[in-house]
């Protein structure tokens, strides 16, 4: 009988049990996972998000120069935009040199100005609203904005609520952009002749201006808008309110004595409107005040055969001759009123949107004689105040959109 040791030697070798192989299987699996994650790239893996663009706080977008850039500086809309105002639709009115007018790009000193990306901007503004309050130059600004943003939402519809003069709603993003017409910002209305006015003044009546009461068109917007852009200035002149139909200023329901001259009245209106904005508009609302848009009447004012048939922007050396108030030219109002506005806004949370300087160069970019109506020039003269669209206000939109993005980043 064989010994137990001999029997063990003759036994066939057996496979190891599954439990004894388990550690090896786990180790092998970990090796495979490590190698695949190191050397293989999954096509389904999403790319990392692009870095968030920053706007340099030291960047002055308002100081720079215009550079010809016909290849990249092309309009984002044409004459078919449904938000156009006929007199500013220079493509439809066949204004000369529109290609050249829109070939200039504003280049700030020491920083870059990106063109607005309508899709990205409306995405940033989703469920928010933007309002413009002021005179027709803010309407000019609005129309440019609406036509540019429509590139991201062709379903945009005209909108006119909350006292707005005009505007649009962009349903894909639930964004409303609108304009409230308030040329003096304060409430004003026609009144019969004021007996206390000097002889020769107010012979046809007068306009009562309540310096402490905002115009009805924007008095109740309060917290509807997340961004607001204010302006006034172009109506504060004797061409709009001559001696026979002057402005008479009231405060707390009573006429101010002694009667104020026009610019003194403007100063008090500005002080009161800024106070109203600070009290009634929420702190979280981004507030901008657009400084004056310069006029370019050459050879006389609008009612004195003034003209702006220029083919190129003005040169640096020409700007003071055109706009310095000390020269007493017909276009002096922009810088004159800006000094008054800037002083009044100092210390408030309203940001200056100083588009004056960059626009001073662009004597070539107004509708001029191409107004879309046969007798318009004979009746109203050339338009050297408003801007062709597409045109200079498209650059205003680029700047405003960048400042809005900056403001939202800081919140």
Q: Please report, for the chain, the start and end positions of each structural domain, with discontinuous segments joined by +.
A: 70-410
CATH number of the 70-410 domain: 3.40.50.1110
Averaged pLDDT, 150-155: 97
pLDDT at 380: 87
- At 285 the three-state DSSP class reads coil
Higher pLDDT, 52 or 403: 403
The pLDDT of residue 49 is above 70:
no
Label residue 302 by pLDDT band (50, 70, 90). confident
Label residue 40 by pLDDT band (50, 70, 90). very low
Label residue 9 by pLDDT band (50, 70, 90). very low
pLDDT at 11: 40
Q: Which two tokens stand for residue 280?
A: 């009634």
The pLDDT of residue 313 is above 70:
yes
Residue 395 and residue 107: Cα distance in Å, rounded? 10
Label residue 396 by pLDDT band (50, 70, 90). very high
Averaged pLDDT, 214-223: 95
Average predicted confidence (pLDDT) for the chain = 87
pLDDT tens string 166-208: 999 999 999 999 999 999 999 999 998 765 655 556 678 999 9
Which residues make beta-bridge pairs with 309? none
Q: Supply φ then ψ for residue 35, to 5 degrees.
A: -65, -40
pLDDT at 43: 35
Q: Which two tokens stand for residue 231?
A: 């302006």
Averaged pLDDT, 111-138: 97
* Spatial contact of 286 and 228, defined as CB atoms under 8 Å apart: yes
Q: Nearest Cα to 301, choosing from 280, 326, 332?
A: 332
Q: Kindly state the percentage of the chain with pLDDT values over 90.
A: 75
pLDDT at 392: 98
Q: What predicted TM-score, i.e. pTM, was given to this entire model?
A: 0.85
pLDDT tens string 346-380: 999 999 999 999 999 999 999 999 999 988 898 88
* Spatial contact of 394 and 98, defined as CB atoms under 8 Å apart: no
The total of other beta-carbon atoms located within 10 Å of residue 232's CB is 25
Q: Kindly state the percentage of the chain with pLDDT values over 70.
A: 84
Label residue 76 by pLDDT band (50, 70, 90). very high
Residue 148 and residue 400: Cα distance in Å, rounded? 13
Distance of CA 113 to CAs 21, 101, 294, Å? Answer: 65, 19, 22
pLDDT at 220: 93
pLDDT at 201: 62
């Amino acid at each position: 009988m064989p010994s137990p040791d001999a029997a063990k030697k003759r036994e066939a070798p057996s496979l190891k049990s599954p439990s004894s192989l388990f550690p090896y299987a786990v180790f092998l699996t970990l090796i495979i996972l490590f190698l695949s994650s190191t050397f293989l790239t999954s096509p389904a893996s999403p790319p990392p998000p692009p870095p968030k663009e920053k706007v340099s706080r030291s960047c002055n977008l308002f100081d720079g120069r215009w550079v010809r850039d016909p290849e990249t500086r092309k309009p984002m809309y044409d004459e078919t935009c449904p938000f156009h105002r006929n007199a500013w639709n220079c493509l439809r009115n066949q204004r000369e040199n529109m290609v050249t007018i829109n070939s200039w790009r504003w280049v700030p000193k020491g920083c870059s100005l990106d063109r607005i990306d309508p899709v990205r901007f409306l995405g940033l503004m989703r469920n928010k609203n933007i309002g413009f309050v002021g005179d027709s130059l803010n309407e000019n600004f609005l129309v440019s904005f609406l036509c540019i943003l429509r590139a991201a939402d062709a379903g945009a519809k005209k909108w006119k609520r909350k006292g707005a003069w005009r505007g649009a709603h962009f349903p894909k993003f639930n964004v409303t952009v609108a304009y409230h017409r308030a040329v003096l910002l304060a409430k004003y209305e026609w009144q019969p002749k004021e007996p206390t006015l000097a002889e020769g003044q107010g012979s046809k009546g007068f306009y009562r201006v309540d310096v402490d009461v905002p115009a009805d068109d924007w008095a109740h917007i309060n917290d509807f808008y997340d961004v607001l852009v204010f302006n006034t200035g172009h109506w504060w002149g004797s061409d709009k309110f001559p001696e026979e139909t002057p402005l008479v200023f009231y405060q707390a329901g009573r006429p101010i004595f002694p009667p104020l001259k026009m610019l003194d009245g403007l100063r008090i209106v500005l002080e009161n409107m800024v106070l109203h904005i600070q009290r009634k508009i929420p702190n979280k609302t981004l507030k901008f005040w657009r400084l004056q848009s310069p006029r370019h009447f050459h050879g006389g004012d609008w009612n004195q055969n003034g003209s702006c048939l220029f083919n190129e922007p003005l040169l640096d050396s020409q700007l003071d001759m055109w706009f310095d108030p000390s020269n007493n030219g017909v276009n002096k109002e922009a810088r004159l009123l800006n000094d008054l506005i800037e002083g009044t806004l100092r210390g408030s949370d309203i940001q200056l949107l100083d588009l004056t300087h960059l626009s001073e160069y662009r004597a070539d970019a107004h509708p001029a004689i191409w107004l879309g109506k046969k007798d318009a020039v004979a009746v109203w003269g050339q338009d050297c105040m408003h801007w062709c669209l597409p045109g200079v206000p498209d650059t205003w939109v680029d700047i405003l959109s960048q400042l809005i993005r900056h403001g939202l980043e800081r919140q």
